Amino acid sequence: MMVRLKDYLHAVENALKAGNATEHTHRPALKALLESIDLQVTATNEPKRIACGAPDYIITRNGLTIGYIEAKDVGKSLAETERTDQLKRSSVCA
């Protein structure tokens, strides 16, 4: 897995060097990383809305939802993000 993580970090670093990257720029690299960790997992980027909102990813294995991911841009404070209404709503899905 370390090689996969290095690939992910390299992709993010290269995108940041361009100077115009956003949260969405890094999503293909994150999807590849998530799916490389477990070959039975599918990470769906920008899935349909669900009862508690619109997570950035739904993680499934064999058709069953096993988790949700809310992606944030590089440098965004996770402490601040954790206090947002967006994440408070998402706890309903957990």
CA angle 92, 83, 74 (to 5 degrees): 105
pTM above 0.85, yes or no: no
Residues with pLDDT less than 70, the chain? 1-2, 86-94
Coil, strand or helix: which one is 20?
coil
Q: What is the pLDDT of residue 76?
A: 84
pLDDT in tens, 20-35: 998 899 999 999 999 9
Q: Which helix (H) or strand (E) holds 5?
A: helix 2-17
